[in-house]
Amino acid sequence: METLKKITFLAGFILLFGGIMAQNQATLQAAFIKSFEAEKQSNYTTSINELKTIYRTDSYFVNIRLGWLYYLNKEYSESIKYYNIAIQLKPYAIEARFGCVKPLSAIQSWDKVKEQYLQILKIDPQNTVAAYWLGVIYYNRKDYPSALKLFEKIVNLYPLDYDSCIMLGWTKLNLARPADAKILFNHCLILRPNDKSALAGLNQIK
């Protein structure tokens, strides 16, 4: 009899828990639907508030979405805060790190942007988007040897990628390797005939 009572209690608990979970899921879905609808109308504050009604600190999905919405609303500090929560919840997910780059770039926090790209490349060494933009940061800081490694890697993977080829050409020119730069600039002219950047590079070599 005692065993039967335990089984009955357990069955009742499972049914109750299942009902609560289904209700919570329905509430979550409804909030996301309203949030997406408000975003489509560019009502970002309303979109944010819809998610705040079901906010949970341990929800990756809610936090990464709030990071995106606060970015759209140009509330960059709040955006960074929620992206960082998402990163802490799933440290090996790179989408939140890419998301965090947007508000960090908006406030020109380039060292922290660089940190995110480095972390992405630790997780995914072949990620060419992170490699390219990290290379651009190094190039703009005149750290041409560091930029060279990244642009060469991308061009080896994607020889027809114009953006990486042109950056590699300019990097090599700044490293006093004009012969290599000339080859790359001419290659870029095949990819984009009459390209102004490639022509400017060739004019400097002359």
pTM > 0.75: yes
205, 173 in Cβ contact below 8 A? yes
Distance between CA atoms of residues 158 and 98, nearest Å: 21
pLDDT per position as a tens digit, 139-196? 999 999 999 999 999 999 999 999 999 999 999 999 999 999 999 999 999 999 999 9
The answer as to whether 136 is a domain residue is yes
CA–CA distance, 151 with 125 (Å, rounded to integer): 13
Q: Select from 137, 149, 146, 191 the least CA-distant residue to 166.
A: 191
- Domain-located, residue 94: no
Read off the tokens for 79. 């955006």
CA-wise closest residue to 130 among 153, 160, 107, 162: 153
Angle, to 10 degrees, between the axis of helix 128-140 and the axis of helix 144-157? 150
Domain membership of residue 197 (yes or no) is: yes
The per-residue pLDDT for range 49-77, each reduced to its tens digit, is: 999 998 989 999 999 999 999 999 999 99
What CATH number does the domain containing 157 carry?
1.25.40.10
Question: Is residue 138 situated within a structural domain?
Answer: yes
Query: Could you tell me if residue 3 is inside a domain?
Result: no
- Structural domain boundaries, residue 164: 126-206
Residues 116 and 134: their CA atoms lie apart, in Å, by 9
